[in-house]
Amino acid sequence: MEPASEEESAERPSEGRGGALSRETARLEALIVPRIEALSRRLVLAGHRTRLDDRLAKDPPSLRFRVEPRRGPFDPPGTGTASVLEFVVEGDGGRAVAGKIWLDPLARRPTERRGIRTVDLEEAWVDRLLVEFIERTLARA
């Protein structure tokens, strides 16, 4: 997995930046980051490029997972298609989480958006969204 640029993510928000993460943001980090990292390792082994941008210390807190599928041997350079899955904490006090799939990262609006209340956020919801995102991304490649 490619590291994010220094400008986009520096140290983990829970390790400084003048305070701890909110409970909702810390839960998002604990639930989603390990799953993205595990999935990313598998995708990299298959020749795809990935990147996780940790923006949990920003407003609104979010995680952005970018996948650029491996190009075919006859594809001209610069024709790669990248997709982004973004998890964003929304609402007053972080009461909801949105999962936004961007099949075209330059589009103004996400291709699909799903929301869930933070208290209902569970591993199965995250896993389903990650699997669907990867299926749709690789189908476009």
pLDDT digits (tens, 9 = 90+) for 30-74: 999 999 999 999 999 999 999 999 999 998 999 999 999 988 777
Question: Which of the four pLDDT bands, split at 50, 70 and 90, describes residue 20?
Answer: low
Select from 117, 9, 137, 120 the least CA-distant residue to 64: 9
Domain contains 110: yes
Place of tokens 């390990």: 34
In a domain, 1, yes or no: no
What predicted TM-score, i.e. pTM, was given to this entire model? 0.82
Q: Is the pLDDT of residue 12 over 60?
A: no
CA distance 112 to 42: 24
Decide the pairing of beta strands 83-90 and 62-68.
antiparallel
More confident call, 21 vs 35: 35
Q: Domain tally for the chain? A: 1
In the block, residue with structure tokens 């999962």: 99
Three-state DSSP string of 32-62 = HHHHHHHHHHHHHHCCCEEEEEEECCCCCCE
Which comes out higher in pLDDT, residue 84 or 74? 84
Per-residue confidence (pLDDT) for residue 62, from 0 to 100:
95
Which is nearest to 44 in space by CA: 88, 3, 105?
Answer: 3
In a domain, 99, yes or no: yes
Whether 4 is covered by a domain: the verdict is: no
